[in-house]
Amino acid sequence: MQASDFRRLNCAPRPLGVNAFLLIPSYYCALPPLQVELAPMKHRLAIATILGIVASASGFSADQKTVTGWVLDSACAFTKGLTKPISVDCAVSCAKNGSPLVILQDDGSIYWPIAETMPAEGQNKRLMPFAGKRVTVTGKTYTRGGSAAIVIDKITEASGR
């Protein structure tokens, strides 16, 4: 093989090193660029993405449930340790000032009313007639990281305790 053959194969002369004492020229030949077909890879990536979305969405399944509790503002539910609202006026006043209304069950668990539509909207307007009162709510419930939420399908005033 001659030097011109090495240049045609994208080879470069290697600095004289080990073979210097023999005076044999050596060449370093780069491998041709790797030709990778991307189409099958794109399909695999799309399938993996879809499977990931389906797997993660399945962790957020909703259960239909009926919940009974007191409608009060979230600040009082967390900071005051209340088991029921102080008064209807207090719950209404806090809700009008922007505090989200929640449903506090007798066992102390709290359900955050949420919208199922996107873009989501607050549920205070829907709960305002029940602020400070005991209610029974039916709807889809969701849990995540210790929090519970409910999409209200039906809400009625319940008897007080």
**Would you kindly state where each structural domain of the chain is located, as residue ranges?**
1-33, 61-157
Q: Which two tokens stand for residue 4?
A: 């011109």
b/e map 87-110, b = 16+ CB within 10 Å: eeebbbebbeeebbbbbbeeeeeb
Which secondary-structure segment (H or E) carries 37? none
pLDDT digits (tens, 9 = 90+) for 6-28: 555 566 666 655 555 555 566 55
| 100-156 confidence digits (pLDDT tens) | 999 999 999 999 999 998 998 999 999 999 999 999 999 999 999 999 999 999 999
Confidence band of 61 (pLDDT split at 50, 70, 90): low
| Mean pLDDT of all residues belonging to the chain | 80
Q: Which is nearest to 31 in space by CA: 9, 14, 15?
A: 9
Note if the pTM is more than 0.85.
Answer: no
CATH architecture, domain 61-157 = Beta Barrel (2.40)
- Higher local confidence (pLDDT), 81 or 71: 71
